Amino acid sequence: MKWCSSSFFAKEMPSGRRRHPLQGSCARRPSWSSLLLPSPPQPLGWPVEYQRRVSFEWYPVWYPEDREDMRSMFRTCATERLFLPDMFPSVDAAIYVDTDLIFLSPPEDLWAEFQKFDEVQVAAMAPCLYHYGSFRNKVPFYGDTGLNAGVMHMNLTRMKDFPGGGWIAANMKVFDIFKKRIKLADQDILNILFYKYPEYLFELGCEWNYRMYQCSDGNKCPGAARSGISILHGNAMSFVKGNEMKLQTVFEVWEQHELGKPLTILLSELERKLKFVSSQHLPSKCVRTHNIDDMLTRAIKKHIL
């Protein structure tokens, strides 16, 4: 059995059927199902109040027989998200997320972004704000900045009617035409697709997929400056590599936090250690963003204070 290294979650209706994103508002205490996780189920050891809010379902990785060559592109299973509409025909909507993310706002708030879709939009992603406008990129891309696929809302029902024979057929056509120029696997494929069909994409605020490139030379995300960072993305190993200690500190504080203890303790520890990074001049380019500590803690404060 092979397992994917990324995950997605879908919200359940009281009947147990997967909820369509436009069917009413989010429940206060939803049941979240997390699928395609990296290893078989293990006892969580979490406090009961946390276990009640999360359910896990485990599924084997699936690729069409003629597309097995896509499995190892970029990272193993990175392209799996392209096939979700066929993998889960009874799921109306889901959010696919990379596993190197830290939610600083509740998942319910991210799910609520579905409500902003118009009548044709099938997906949502945040701007890349790096790479696609540089010499490194060799493919067409969405908008002025391109898209980062680390967080992706997917209306799986609408995707089945996507132009070009449906979602999977449209993506495979892109792959077949551009495969020699693709560097970032599914992310490049999605950028090419929404370059051609921009009206089918809802653009998330950059605060929902904040990466070190957005603060390493001053803040490049106005939404995060206004309301704080909602999801912190540790791509390029920025949570563990030691070269961006502002972001790595957030990861380490969350990793060391004991579930069940007050989140005010986590917040106090986070504020203290972020100040330590600055006072001790630890490696960080994001320190150049003068209000980076506030941006990293504001969303948490909003929900716990």
Same-domain check for residues 27 and 72: yes
Record the tokens describing residue 213, joined without a space: 């490139």
pTM for the model: 0.86
Looking at the structure, do residues 127 and 269 belong to the same domain, yes or no? no
User: ∠ at Cα 81 (8, 61), nearest 5°?
Assistant: 85
Q: Specify if 48 maps to a domain.
A: yes
Other CB atoms within 10 A of residue 144 CB = 10
Residues 30 and 109 in one domain: yes
User: Final residue of a domain: which of 184, 204, 224?
Assistant: 204
Task: Kindly report, residue by residue over 137-183, the tens digit of the pLDDT.
Answer: 678 999 988 999 999 999 999 999 999 999 999 999 999 999 888 88
Report the chain's mean pLDDT, rounded to a whole number.
86
Helix (H, G, I), strand (E, B) or coil at 218: strand
* 7 pLDDT tier (thresholds 50, 70, 90): low
Residue 28 forms part of a structural domain: yes
CA angle, 197 then 198 then 202, to 5°? 125
Q: Which domain does 74 fall in, by range?
A: 7-204
Strand blocks (E) in the chain:
7-11, 32-35, 54-56, 93-97, 101-103, 123-127, 147-155, 201-203, 231-233
Q: Both 239 and 111 in a single domain?
A: no
Q: Is 298's pLDDT higher than 90?
A: yes
Domain assignment present for residue 282? The answer is yes
Whether 217 is in a domain gets the answer no
CA distance 96 to 238: 20
For 215, the token pair is: 């603060």
In this structure, the answer to whether residues 192 and 238 fall within a common structural domain is: no
How far apart are alpha carbons 178 and 196 in whole angstroms? 13
Question: Which of 37-46, 102-111, 240-249 shows the lowest per-residue confidence on average (mean pLDDT)?
Answer: 37-46
Q: What is the pLDDT of residues 92-149, one digit of tens each?
A: 999 999 999 999 999 999 999 999 999 999 999 999 877 676 667 678 999 988 999 9
Residues 164 and 241 in one domain: no
Which H helix or E strand runs over 36? none
Q: Is residue 186 part of a domain?
A: yes
Query: What's the domain count of the chain?
Result: 2
